[in-house]
Amino acid sequence: MSKGIIVREAHFPGRAPIDAYGNGGFRFADMSHRGSLLLLPSGVYGWDVEEGQALETALFQRLLDEAGDIEVLLVGTGTKLCFLPPDLKAMLKGAGISADPMSTGAAVRTYNIMLAEERAVAAALIAV
């Protein structure tokens, strides 16, 4: 009896800088991922968000679960800067997290620098 292919939620346990981005995905830790990513203290997770999609608070629940370990959230909003909805900003602020929206490319570069400085940073990166 064959079980076939088992599809699991994308997760890399650990922190890793982003080596490359574009063509709808990212490269990090000698791997590639197609789609958006959440980079948290507990690891790198696939994030089911596309450019232009409304950034609802429910999309950030996993991040809130780790709020005590995060001071800054970089939100890569795609090819263009999009502002965060007021309810999302208020929720993050209430959790003690400063959120900075920017293009995904700028977020990747800033994340890599802050990670190298061992800062309490997380990133939500929409694939471009």
Q: Report the alpha-carbon distance of residue 40 to residue 121 in Å, rounded.
A: 8
- pLDDT of 7 above 50: no
If you average pLDDT over residues 68-72, what whole number do you get?
A: 95
Return the residue matching tokens 């948290």. Answer: 40
Tokens of 27: 């490269």
- pLDDT of 63 above 50: yes
At residue 3, the pLDDT reads 57
Mean pLDDT over each residue of the chain, to the nearest integer: 92
Q: Looking at the domain assignment, is residue 2 inside a domain? A: no
- pLDDT of 105 above 90: yes
Q: Looking at the domain assignment, is residue 6 inside a domain? A: no
- pLDDT of 113 above 50: yes
> Which CA distances in Å does 95 have to 23, 66, 72, 112?
33, 10, 11, 23
At residue 14, the pLDDT reads 81
- The total number of structural domains in the chain stands at 1
Q: Looking at the domain assignment, is residue 15 inside a domain? A: yes
Q: Looking at the domain assignment, is residue 45 inside a domain? A: yes
Q: Report the alpha-carbon distance of residue 118 to residue 114 in Å, rounded.
A: 6
What is the value of pTM for the model shown?
Answer: 0.90
Query: Distance from first CA to last CA of the chain, Å, rounded?
Result: 40
Q: Looking at the domain assignment, is residue 3 inside a domain? A: no
pLDDT band at 13; cut points 50, 70, 90: confident
At residue 12, the pLDDT reads 76
What are 39's strand-pairing partners?
44, 123
Q: Looking at the domain assignment, is residue 1 inside a domain? A: no
- Would you tell me how many other CB atoms lie within 10 Å of the CB of residue 90? 12
At residue 4, the pLDDT reads 58
Q: Looking at the domain assignment, is residue 89 inside a domain? A: yes
The CATH number of whichever domain residue 92 belongs to comes to 3.40.1230.10
The domain of 119 spans 11-125
Q: What is the dihedral of CA 67, 97, 24, 15, to 10 degrees?
A: -50
If you average pLDDT over residues 71-89, what whole number do you get?
A: 96
